[in-house]
Structure 1
Amino acid sequence: MVRDLLRPVPLGIYFLSFAIGVVGALVLPTFSVFLAKELGVRPLLVGIPFTGLALASIGYNHWIGLWSDRLPDRRPLVAGFCLVGVLSCVIFALTRQYWLVAFSAVALFSLGMVAYSQMLAYSLDYAERQLPVARIPLFNAIVRAQIAIAWVAGPPTGFLLASYYGFSTMYWFAAALFALVGLSSLKLLPRLADAPRPSAADAGLNPVDTPRTGGSAVTPARRALIFCLIAFSLMWCVNNAYLIALPLHLDNHLGIGTEWVGWIMGTAALLEVPVMLLAGLLGARINLMVMVRLAGVAGFLLYAGVLYASELWHLFALQLFNAIFIGVLAGLGVSVIQSLMPGRSGSASALYTNTTHLGNLLSSLQVALVADWFGYGAVFWVSLAVVILAMAVFLGVRPASAGHSARPAPGSAT
């Protein structure tokens, strides 16, 4: 099975997914420290760029995701968005004006990171056209595992570069990686053969348009999709709040240097890789929703542990729960959405990616308001409540609703 997934085309997907993941792993965990320490702004102003970035990303991914489904080739989109990402990182490297940094994050960096969702859509296109349905969760998990591998090295590298060489050096490095992905995408990702995509009516689901029949009830598939999108957004909310608040919580309350945060996050990412691969293997045998709910339990244990951690080793030990939470969520979440939207890879990946952006929006408000009033430690108390709410929403999705598509395996798959 694994050998079938390591043919030449997926290798390009794996490498570029890893490279774009490194960019995010460099910039996102360090951005709150950049704003708070380098620019010297208060917690409320730290949250504003994250809020704007999330809002812009939601809009970009929604409309670009719908539009990209009608295009014959996604590769130019990946390259173009990466060039926009280069520009945003260059601005971060050159200026220390808060509002210019905030504008660049909202208008440019968020657009640059659309390259990631388009890479995910490309991988879904490949999976739907080349792989049997039972192997899609494993393939998706391997693609997402490249992001986890990137986060093994990205946060430590970002915090070390920022601590010893300055934020400008780190952002120049991120700009170079953006350029590498943009230039390599046209070379390493062969154009996929055109394939007919089923209409919304054929798929039995239209999550974008509202029902036109006034008295018709919401279908089970639509209800499952809505519940999943809400619950995924809540789970990504607590994850992003963790990324924003943890460096400042450790520095302000536990006296632990921010350079250790990179190693903590890298440890979690290292553990996520086997969790993602195992989740992908089990995804063909165990209902996806059961596994996602178990991930929520791990998230609850993680944030409860952070609240009571008093030593550095406690935080490293807690990364096992973090790895289970994110490994299952990131490895199987897109498979859940894809199973509810067969034949609409761009829309499915955009919707799933937008759950991360909506989660980022909610977490930005959470951190900005809670930390400004009660301190960064209080953010994790709110995260516990949000995880419980997400688990309650997932209970509204019957296990059969999030199963695998009944699509037969394509004849060309080996």
Structure 2
Amino acid sequence: MKKNLWVNVREKSLFVWRIPSFPALFLINFIFGLSSSFFAPFSSIFGIDEAGMSNIGFGVFMTIMAIGGVTISSYIAKRSDTRTSRKKLMIIAAAAGVIGYTLFAFLRNYLALSLTGFFVLGTAGAAVPQLWAYARDALKQANIPAEQTPFIMNIFRMFFALSWTVGPALGSALLISVGFKGLFLSVAAGNLMALLTIVFLLKDVPRGQVSMKKAPAVGKYVKKVHIFAFLAAAFLLSTATSIHMLNMPQFVTKVLHGTEMDVGIIFSVPPMFEVPMMIIVGILATKMDNAKLILIGFATACSYFLLLNFVTEPWQIYPLQVLSAAQVSITGGIAISYFQDFIPEAQGTATTLYMNTTSIGSTLGYLLFGFISQVTNYGSLIIMYTVLAAVGLLFLVFLGKEKVKNSKASKTKVQNF
């Protein structure tokens, strides 16, 4: 049985690697993930300690960056689904990343950083959604069977997760040795490497592959109950997860009286399990209803947060991190390809809409953590984001039924549900 599973995984992995453009796409995805993992874990240290922002000022700064990313990437998504090729837009976004992070290496003025974050890095934020949409287009162009899409896209997502297993540690080493100036220049260099890879190794999507002449109205999609339910659930889980990420170190050291080593172990456990789990989840996604897998992922997240409310020692969190890895492997893996199938005629819009929703949820989480942690203890915060994740699950259970029903009815037409 184990031998057959290993053979199946190996054969599927070789199959994915042979798809035209995908080795280059894997590389670009890894580079973008590595670049983001250099900055994201140290953003608050940069804003508060390096640039001298207040806690509230930093929260506003992050909100400005998030709004810029949502606004500009949404516009770029419409362009990608109508006139401009995804390759050209990815080149623009990657170039913006080079410029933006180079400026961050030298700027310390609040207004200058905010303007750069909104306009320049807001443009750079479109790179990953467009890359994911390009990957789906590449699958269609290569005539890959639809039932293989969830597995392939989960492998694709795995490369982004893989970059985060080493990125924060490398970023920390860079920060210690060369400071924020060197760190941001390294991120800019990563974007430059991605830019060159896009220019020389990716081909333009033929005009015939673009199915729309008019930009899609996002509102008409969001009004559909199952799409709204999924976005609301993703938003709530993203908010809960971002609060959890900020809260965990404080909870371990100040409530459980653990050490920084405990925190390091806690954050190191999930990535070790996420990579193999993403492969397994991808295989399962080709054999069962993806709607059920998504529900399992959200239920796992709720169970993980709920169990955290009962821990009394840091070591008790170690085994729970396997649940964290499991939920990320599902909600961070097949969730995007699952949502892309809601709007098959506008992959750029679908991908950006999903990523913008989770980005806004994360930003809200940052703000909620900053304000609420001042009036309550870190243990109580766990209860709050457990409730947020549970409400997200309820959205899927009760309002997502229409999509589950439709996916079953259309199973013979669209096999990747």
TM-score interval for Structure 1 and Structure 2 normalised by the shorter chain = 0.7 to 0.9
Amino acid at match of 1:287: D
Q: 1:87 aligns with which of 99, 111, 120?
A: 99
Q: 1:354 aligns with which of 353, 356, 361?
A: 356
RMSD value, Cα? 3.0
Structure 2's unaligned 5+ residue stretches are: 1-11
C-alpha contact (below 8 Å) 1:371/1:377 kept by paired residues: no
Deviations 1:125-179 (A, max 9, x none): 1123321110010111111111110111112222333345433322221111111
**Distance in 2 separating the partners of 1:190 and 1:370:** 48
TM-score (norm 1): 0.85
C-alpha contact (below 8 Å) 2:297/2:327 kept by paired residues: yes
Deviations 1:266-304 (A, max 9, x none): 432232112222221111222222222222222223334
Matched ranges for 1:203-282 at <5 A: 208-210=218-220, 222-247=224-249, 264-282=266-284
What residue number does 1:29 align with?
A: 41
What residue number does 2:24 align with?
A: 12
How far the C-alpha of 1:196 sits from its partner, in A, is 4.6
Distance 1:19 1:132, change over 3 A: same
Structure 1's unaligned 5+ residue stretches are: 212-217, 410-414
**Distance in 2 separating the partners of 1:32 and 1:377:** 22
Structure 2 residue 356 is the aligned partner of structure 1 residue 344: no
Aligned-partner SS, 1:373: coil
**Distance in 2 separating the partners of 1:60 and 1:40:** 27
**Distance in 2 separating the partners of 1:110 and 1:405:** 38
**Distance in 2 separating the partners of 1:173 and 1:311:** 38
C-alpha contact (below 8 Å) 1:268/1:323 kept by paired residues: yes
What residue number does 2:72 align with?
A: 60
Deviations 1:187-230 (A, max 9, x none): 121233443555699xxxx762549xxxxxx99xx211111111
Q: 2:166 aligns with which of 145, 150, 153?
A: 153
Distance 1:258 1:31, change over 3 A: farther
More displaced, 119-128 or 78-87?
Answer: 78-87
**Distance in 2 separating the partners of 1:193 and 1:52:** 35
What residue number does 1:412 align with?
A: none
Aligned residues: 397
How far the C-alpha of 1:99 sits from its partner, in A, is 4.3
**Distance in 1 separating the partners of 2:85 and 2:261:** 41
How far the C-alpha of 1:52 sits from its partner, in A, is 2.0
Aligned-partner SS, 1:71: coil
TM-score (norm 2): 0.84
Deviations 1:244-281 (A, max 9, x none): 44455556656767687566444322321122222211
**Distance in 1 separating the partners of 2:121 and 2:74:** 16
What residue number does 2:373 align with?
A: 371
Aligned-partner SS, 1:341: coil
C-alpha contact (below 8 Å) 2:38/2:168 kept by paired residues: yes
Structure 2 residue 102 is the aligned partner of structure 1 residue 109: no
**Distance in 1 separating the partners of 2:345 and 2:268:** 35
Amino acid at match of 1:397: G
How far the C-alpha of 1:10 sits from its partner, in A, is 0.8
**% identity of equivalent residues:** 21
**Distance in 2 separating the partners of 1:334 and 1:156:** 27
How far the C-alpha of 1:328 sits from its partner, in A, is 0.3
Q: 2:134 aligns with which of 103, 107, 122?
A: 122
More displaced, 158-167 or 345-354?
Answer: 158-167
Amino acid at match of 2:400: V
C-alpha contact (below 8 Å) 2:94/2:127 kept by paired residues: yes
Aligned-partner SS, 1:285: coil
How far the C-alpha of 1:392 sits from its partner, in A, is 0.9
**Distance in 1 separating the partners of 2:278 and 2:213:** 30
Q: 1:2 aligns with which of 13, 21, 27?
A: 13
Structure 2 residue 405 is the aligned partner of structure 1 residue 400: yes
More displaced, 182-191 or 87-96?
Answer: 87-96
Amino acid at match of 1:237: T
C-alpha contact (below 8 Å) 1:141/1:277 kept by paired residues: yes
Structure 2 residue 145 is the aligned partner of structure 1 residue 132: yes
What residue number does 1:215 align with?
A: none
How far the C-alpha of 1:74 sits from its partner, in A, is 1.4
**Distance in 2 separating the partners of 1:253 and 1:41:** 27
Amino acid at match of 2:113: V
Distance 1:22 1:120, change over 3 A: same
Q: 1:387 aligns with which of 380, 386, 389?
A: 389
**Distance in 1 separating the partners of 2:311 and 2:59:** 25
More displaced, 152-161 or 172-181?
Answer: 152-161
